[in-house]
Amino acid sequence: MKYYVGIDIGASTTKALILDGERQVLGSGVVFSGADFSRAADEAFKRACEPVAEDVRSSCFITTTGYGRKNIAYADQNMTEISCHALGTYHHFPHPHTVVDIGGQDSKVITVEASGNRTHFRMNRKCAAGTGAFLEEMANRLQVELDDLNELALQAEQDIEINSYCTVFAASEILTRIREGVSVPDIVRGVFNSVIRRVIEMDPLEGSIVLCGGVVAYFPVLAKMFETRLGREIFVPPLPQLTGALGAALYSWKAEGDKNA
Amino acid sequence: MGSEKNASIKRIQATGQMKKIMADYFYQLDEAARSGSSKIAWCTSVGPAELLLSLGFQVYYPENHGAMLGATRQANDYIPVANAIGYSPDICSYLTSDIGAYIKQETPLTRAYPGIEGLPRPDVLVFNTNQCRDVQDWLGWYARELQVPIMGVSTFRNIGDVTDLAVTNIAGQIRELIPELEQISGNRFDLDRFREVMALSGRCTELWKQVLETNLAKPAPMSFFDATIQMGPAVVLRGSETAIAYYETLLAELKTRVSEGIGAVDNERFRLYWEGMPVWGKLRDLSELFIGLDTAVIASTYCNSWIFDAFDPEDPFNSMARAYTEIFIVRDEAFKQRYIEDIVSRFGLHGLIFHDSKTCPNNSNNRYCLPERLEESLQIPTLTINGDLNDMRCYSDEQAKTNIEAFIEQLESR
């Protein structure tokens, strides 16, 4: 049996996903990328292989993506995360849509047309604002666990704005809010609102919106807040953090299909 | 699709000749400054250089020096020095790197040209604000520092048509420079000599245009990245026979490439436009990246900015005024859009890359929705890269590479 593997070596986490010939997900794994991309890819791949009885490595096609996409010697090909996210979301939502991917260190907005082709994309600029790194910094500043941010945001009683698009300035704004006596849950909600504002500034976000990436995977409240902000339904794929890895695995599947055609 | 390929840049043979004439130019400047045999004028790159040459000045171009600081990756050693004395990191990084280098009394000229110990000291500083206000502020620093006279031309901004009124005004400003320049140079203005220099500059710029238009061929013989180096003589040696001879040689070589079907990029699949400033410190990296992607970046506003179609020796003041006012950077958005549309159509381009240069707002044309309007009118995609001409603190290799590769993947899927 042939396996189709996608490995997304992101700035924060590395994700691997295995498909069979029918494009069914057989396994997946997520690990921190750390400083050794190759090791992270090996570990994520190993975890993804665990549910599969056969030796996947003996018969597979591997596509890598993400920041470390060119660091993996055994990859058969590499694609950018822009293309992989677009293909990954199109697999679940095969109609025109706009992908919003919020990752550890960047955010992307990608426009996908009816055929699945990309027509346009934008990545956030140089600052961490609007990314997972921003949330980590804000959690640190508030001295709360990152894992608790979602629950805290749900407890908020009011919407406050964190306006700055500089992470350092945003941290200063938080200090101001603390001095003003604003509760931690309200500030956390404000932090999520800030992430949403940074994305809205990138693109008009027309049509259907598909939200993916690690941030929405860990903080589902973000999707709800997006819906409120945009006033329409937001679609989230089943494994939002693995969208890039899924797209990469689908490219593996396509590459083999092209070879066999 | 990402793939690792051998991406070697094809050497343009004429470059050896260019290096020699550029060396001669800097040594002559140095000699003139040391001996006092000629007066030295520092001039902005699209300033009234022909007038200065006709008055016997040897002309030095600080922007060329700024580009050298960027291309040799020394700019970031000097930008903080200028920042520290109060020049914002948000203003022109040619200015900040050049002034910082001057404060440290260092220049890439000393390494490139043994025997040269520093910049040629100016006797006068002459600007044209057609590029931006920063050039005036830049030369203004030297005027204060070196106690040297400064004068210049203040241009119009964001204009559509270049009207007779504008031309008359600019020509008048150029004429008004003459009495003081005569005094500094010790030479009387000679209209015939001015016409001669204009004719030489005209021929140089005409050849430069022909050089750039060899890229109409498929495959294109010269990349944008090559062209940013090859334009050196058009910037600093226009008005001389030397520059004409050089571009005749270069043109012949490129025509040979065209006739033999040799492209700057083997297997040229995509042809792109580069809008905005080069990223001087990353020329080689970017050139190799695009070669590896079988993509030729072959047309640009930047290199076209030294084409001066209007030059007419019979009407030197008005034609110089028109030529230096009708350049892209002076024009309004509607003109810019038409201009790029025309080039995309003539050169058969598949996409446009906009460089949003952090410290060069005047030459970052993505900021008023031009990419979006061009996508609409041309039905081809655009990509904006964030970076800077010289300040590598504003540039992320990884972000730029990912964006460019994703853009090529997008073109592949069309």
Domains of chain B: 19-412 (3.40.50.11900)
**C-alpha closest to that of A60 among A14, A7, A15:** A7
Q: Give the one of B3, B384, B406 whose C-beta lies nearest to A82's C-beta.
A: B406
Residue pLDDT, tens place only, A158-210: 988 888 778 888 888 998 999 999 999 999 999 999 999 889 888 999 889 99
- Residues in chain B with CB shorter than 8 Å from the CB of A123 are 399, 402-403
- CB-CB: which of A67, A80, A123 is closest to B409? A80
Whether the CB of B375 is below 8 Å from some CB of chain A: the reply is yes
**Are B1 and A77 within 8 A, CB to CB?**
yes
Which residues from chain B sit within 8 angstroms of residue A202, using beta carbons? none
Closest in B381, B386, B398 to A125, CB measured: B386
**Which residues 155-194 of chain A have a CB within 8 Å of chain B?**
none
Q: For testing the chain A interface, which of B405, B407, B412, B414 should be mutated: the one with the most A CBs within 10 Å?
A: B405
**What CA–CA distance (Å, rounded) separates B190 from A188?**
74
Q: Look up residue B40 and give its two tokens.
A: 């030295």
Model confidence band, residue A256 (pLDDT cutoffs 50, 70, 90)? confident
CA distance linking residue A193 with residue A187, whole number of Å: 10
Cα of B145 vs its chain's centroid, Å: 26
pLDDT of residue B8: 87
**Mean pLDDT of all residues in A37-55:** 95
Q: Among B345, B343, B344, B218, which Cα is nearest to B269's?
A: B218
Mutate: best of A80, A101, A127, partner B, most B CBs <10 A: A80
**Contact residues, chain B, for A81 at CB < 8 Å:** 402, 406
User: Is A4 an 8 Å CB contact of chain B?
Assistant: no
| Closest residue of chain B to A67, computed from CA coordinates | B398
DSSP B2: B
Contacts of A78 in chain B (CB under 8 A): 1-3
Look at residue B7 in the predicted model and tell me its pLDDT: 72
Contact status of A59 with chain B (Cβ, < 8 Å): no
- Copy the structure tokens of residue A152: 């805290």
Segments making up each domain of chain A, as ranges = 3-83+242-260, 95-236
pLDDT tops 90 at residue A258: no
**A2-38 per-position pLDDT tens digit:** 999 999 999 899 999 999 999 999 999 999 999 999 9
**Topology match between the domains A3-83+242-260 and A95-236:** yes
- The DSSP-derived string for B210-254 is HHHHGGGSSS-SS-HHHHHHHTHHHHHSTTSHHHHHHHHHHHHHH
Contact: B413, A118; criterion CB under 8 Å: yes
Cβ contact, residue pair A83, B410, below 8 Å: yes
What distance in Å separates the CA atoms of residue B120 and residue B26, rounded to the nearest whole number?
9
Please give, rounded to a whole number of angstroms, the shortest distance from the CA of B61 to a CA of chain A: 32
Class of domain A3-83+242-260: alpha beta
> Can you give the pLDDT at residue B235?
95
Q: Provide the 8-state DSSP code for B150.
A: E
Euclidean distance between CA atoms B410 and B414, whole angstroms: 7
Interface membership of B372 toward A (CB under 8 Å): no
Cis amide bond preceding B316, omega within 30: no
Are B398 and A121 an interchain contact pair (Cβ–Cβ within 8 Å)?
Answer: no
Residue type (1 letter), B313: P
Model pLDDT, residue A128: 73
Are A125 and B1 a contacting pair at CB < 8 A? Answer: no
pLDDT of res. A260: 54
Q: Does B376 touch chain A (CB under 8 A)?
A: no
Smallest CA–CA distance from A120 into chain B, residue: B381
Distance CA A163, CA A190 (A): 9
The residue of chain B nearest to residue A73, with distances taken between CA atoms, is B4
Please spell the DSSP secondary structure of A49-95, one letter per residue.
HTT-SS-GGGGEEEEEESTTTTS-TT-SEE--HHHHHHHHHHHH--S
DSSP assignment string, A143-197 = T--GGGHHHHHHT--S------SSHHHHHHHHHHHHHTT--HHHHHHHHHHHHHH
The mean pLDDT of chain A is: 92
Cβ-in-10-Å burial (0-12, 13-18, 19+) of B232 comes to buried
User: In this complex, do A119 and B402 lie within 8 Å of one another by their Cβ atoms?
Assistant: no
Taking each helix axis from N to C end, the angle separating B134-146 and B93-103, rounded to the nearest 10 degrees, works out to: 20
| 8 Å CB contact between B176 and B152 | no
Number of A–B residue contacts, CB under 8 Å: 51
Q: Which residues of B touch A120 (CB under 8 A)?
A: 375, 381
Residue (of B159, B156, B167) closest to B128 by Cα position: B156
Mean pLDDT by 10 residues, chain B (414 residues): 67 96 97 96 95 97 97 96 96 97 97 96 97 96 98 96 96 98 97 97 97 98 97 95 97 98 96 97 96 97 94 97 96 97 98 97 96 97 96 92 96 90
In words, the CATH class of domain A95-236 is alpha beta
* Helices assigned H by DSSP within B276-330: 283-292, 301-304, 316-325
Which of A80, A120, A123 faces B2 most closely, judged by CB atoms? A80
Residue B285 distance to chain A (closest CA, Å): 16
